[in-house]
Protein backbone atom coordinates (compact mmCIF):
# COMPACT_ATOMS: atom_id res chain seq x y z
CA UNK A 1 0.00 0.00 0.00
CA UNK A 2 1.27 3.43 -0.82
CA UNK A 3 0.67 6.60 1.15
CA UNK A 4 0.09 10.18 0.13
CA UNK A 5 2.52 12.82 1.32
CA UNK A 6 1.85 16.55 0.88
CA UNK A 7 4.49 19.25 1.03
CA UNK A 8 3.15 22.54 2.41
CA UNK A 9 4.72 25.85 3.35
CA UNK A 10 4.98 29.43 2.20
CA UNK A 11 6.45 30.24 -1.23
CA UNK A 12 10.19 30.05 -1.86
CA UNK A 13 11.09 27.71 0.99
CA UNK A 14 12.07 25.08 -1.60
CA UNK A 15 9.03 22.78 -1.83
CA UNK A 16 9.33 22.26 -5.60
CA UNK A 17 13.09 21.76 -5.40
CA UNK A 18 12.56 19.02 -2.82
CA UNK A 19 9.71 17.52 -4.88
CA UNK A 20 11.86 17.47 -8.02
CA UNK A 21 14.68 15.75 -6.16
CA UNK A 22 12.26 13.14 -4.81
CA UNK A 23 10.55 12.29 -8.07
CA UNK A 24 13.79 12.56 -10.06
CA UNK A 25 11.99 14.29 -12.89
CA UNK A 26 11.55 17.93 -13.82
CA UNK A 27 7.82 17.89 -13.39
CA UNK A 28 7.34 20.65 -10.87
CA UNK A 29 8.19 24.19 -11.77
CA UNK A 30 10.80 25.96 -9.68
CA UNK A 31 10.20 29.67 -9.71
CA UNK A 32 12.97 32.06 -10.50
CA UNK A 33 10.57 34.92 -9.84
CA UNK A 34 7.62 35.31 -7.50
CA UNK A 35 4.08 36.10 -8.61
CA UNK A 36 3.29 32.94 -10.51
CA UNK A 37 0.05 30.99 -10.07
CA UNK A 38 0.39 27.23 -10.26
CA UNK A 39 -1.60 24.15 -9.47
CA UNK A 40 -0.68 21.18 -7.38
CA UNK A 41 1.77 18.68 -8.81
CA UNK A 42 1.64 14.96 -8.15
CA UNK A 43 4.50 12.53 -8.42
CA UNK A 44 5.54 9.07 -7.30
CA UNK A 45 8.56 8.27 -5.24
CA UNK A 46 9.93 5.46 -3.13
CA UNK A 47 12.36 4.92 -0.28
CA UNK A 48 13.69 1.60 0.97
CA UNK A 49 11.25 -0.18 -1.31
CA UNK A 50 8.22 1.73 -0.03
CA UNK A 51 6.29 3.63 -2.68
CA UNK A 52 4.38 6.80 -1.95
CA UNK A 53 2.71 9.67 -3.78
CA UNK A 54 4.02 13.16 -3.29
CA UNK A 55 2.02 16.36 -3.70
CA UNK A 56 3.82 19.63 -4.31
CA UNK A 57 1.43 22.37 -3.27
CA UNK A 58 1.65 25.71 -5.02
CA UNK A 59 -0.92 27.77 -6.81
CA UNK A 60 -0.31 30.73 -4.57
CA UNK A 61 -1.29 34.09 -5.92
CA UNK A 62 1.31 36.52 -4.73
CA UNK A 63 1.05 40.26 -4.61
CA UNK A 64 -1.95 40.42 -2.32
CA UNK A 65 -1.56 39.44 1.30
CA UNK A 66 -5.30 38.76 1.62
CA UNK A 67 -5.42 36.34 -1.29
CA UNK A 68 -2.17 34.84 -0.19
CA UNK A 69 -3.35 34.14 3.35
CA UNK A 70 -6.53 32.52 2.14
CA UNK A 71 -4.70 30.49 -0.49
CA UNK A 72 -2.08 29.11 1.87
CA UNK A 73 -4.84 28.13 4.32
CA UNK A 74 -6.68 26.39 1.49
CA UNK A 75 -3.57 24.47 0.44
CA UNK A 76 -2.97 23.34 4.02
CA UNK A 77 -6.62 22.29 4.48
CA UNK A 78 -6.48 20.32 1.21
CA UNK A 79 -3.28 18.64 2.31
CA UNK A 80 -4.79 17.76 5.68
CA UNK A 81 -7.80 16.15 3.95
CA UNK A 82 -5.91 14.37 1.22
CA UNK A 83 -2.59 13.28 2.70
CA UNK A 84 -1.54 10.52 5.07
CA UNK A 85 1.46 12.58 6.17
CA UNK A 86 2.41 16.23 5.81
CA UNK A 87 5.83 17.74 5.24
CA UNK A 88 5.76 21.30 6.54
CA UNK A 89 8.71 23.05 4.93
CA UNK A 90 10.41 26.14 6.31
CA UNK A 91 13.61 27.92 5.33
CA UNK A 92 16.77 28.24 7.45
CA UNK A 93 18.01 31.06 5.25
CA UNK A 94 15.13 33.40 6.17
CA UNK A 95 14.23 31.97 9.57
CA UNK A 96 10.70 31.96 11.02
CA UNK A 97 8.19 34.28 9.34
CA UNK A 98 4.62 35.21 10.27
CA UNK A 99 3.38 32.92 7.49
CA UNK A 100 5.28 30.01 9.03
CA UNK A 101 3.63 30.72 12.37
CA UNK A 102 0.17 30.77 10.74
CA UNK A 103 0.75 27.42 9.05
CA UNK A 104 2.20 25.95 12.26
CA UNK A 105 -0.95 27.03 14.11
CA UNK A 106 -3.10 25.10 11.61
CA UNK A 107 -0.88 22.04 11.71
CA UNK A 108 -0.63 21.79 15.50
CA UNK A 109 -4.30 20.75 15.50
CA UNK A 110 -3.83 17.97 12.94
CA UNK A 111 -3.98 14.33 14.00
CA UNK A 112 -1.95 13.11 11.02
CA UNK A 113 1.84 12.89 11.17
CA UNK A 114 3.45 16.26 10.48
CA UNK A 115 7.17 16.50 9.74
CA UNK A 116 8.76 19.90 10.21
CA UNK A 117 11.39 20.12 7.47
CA UNK A 118 13.94 22.92 7.76
CA UNK A 119 15.24 23.36 4.23
CA UNK A 120 18.32 25.23 2.90
CA UNK A 121 20.53 23.74 5.61
CA UNK A 122 23.45 23.68 3.18
CA UNK A 123 26.20 24.12 5.78
CA UNK A 124 27.11 23.94 9.49
CA UNK A 125 26.10 27.55 10.18
CA UNK A 126 22.59 26.91 8.86
CA UNK A 127 22.39 23.81 11.06
CA UNK A 128 22.99 26.05 14.09
CA UNK A 129 20.47 28.62 12.86
CA UNK A 130 17.83 25.91 12.47
CA UNK A 131 17.31 25.51 16.25
CA UNK A 132 15.02 28.55 16.23
CA UNK A 133 12.37 26.40 14.54
CA UNK A 134 11.67 24.69 17.87
CA UNK A 135 9.74 27.91 18.55
CA UNK A 136 7.06 26.81 16.05
CA UNK A 137 5.83 24.39 18.70
CA UNK A 138 5.89 21.33 16.45
CA UNK A 139 8.67 19.52 18.26
CA UNK A 140 11.59 17.86 16.49
CA UNK A 141 12.56 19.04 13.02
CA UNK A 142 14.47 17.58 10.08
CA UNK A 143 17.24 19.78 8.67
CA UNK A 144 17.70 19.17 4.94
CA UNK A 145 19.24 20.72 1.86
CA UNK A 146 17.08 20.11 -1.17
CA UNK A 147 19.96 21.41 -3.30
CA UNK A 148 22.67 19.00 -2.11
CA UNK A 149 20.46 16.28 -0.62
CA UNK A 150 21.91 16.32 2.89
CA UNK A 151 19.52 15.23 5.64
CA UNK A 152 16.94 13.86 3.22
CA UNK A 153 17.76 10.24 4.10
CA UNK A 154 16.96 10.75 7.79
CA UNK A 155 13.71 12.48 6.89
CA UNK A 156 12.66 9.71 4.49
CA UNK A 157 13.54 6.98 7.00
CA UNK A 158 11.15 8.60 9.49
CA UNK A 159 8.51 9.36 6.87
CA UNK A 160 8.13 5.87 5.43
CA UNK A 161 7.73 4.46 8.95
CA UNK A 162 4.36 6.22 9.28
CA UNK A 163 3.06 5.32 5.79
Residue ranges of the annotated binding site for GTP are: 9-16, 56-60, 119-122
Annotated binding-site members: 9-16, 56-60, 119-122
CB of 114 to ligand GDP, least distance (A): 17
Among 5, 6, 13, 87, binds ligand GDP (CB under 6 A): 13
Give Cβ neighbours of residue 145 (< 8 Å, ≥ 6 apart). 119, 120, 121, 122, 151, 152
**3 exposed, middle or buried (CB, 10 Å; 0-12, 13-18, 19+)?**
middle
Among 5, 6, 8, 16, binds ligand GDP (CB under 6 A): 16
30 near ligand GDP (CB under 6 A): yes
Q: Is the dihedral of CA 16, 112, 95, 151 positive or negative?
A: negative
12 near ligand GDP (CB under 6 A): yes
102 near ligand GDP (CB under 6 A): no
Amino acid sequence: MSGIVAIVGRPNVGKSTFFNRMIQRREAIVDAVSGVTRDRHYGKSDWNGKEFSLIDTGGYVLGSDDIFEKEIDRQVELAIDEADAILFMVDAETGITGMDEDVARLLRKVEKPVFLVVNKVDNAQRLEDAVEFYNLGLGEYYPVSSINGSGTGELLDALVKVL
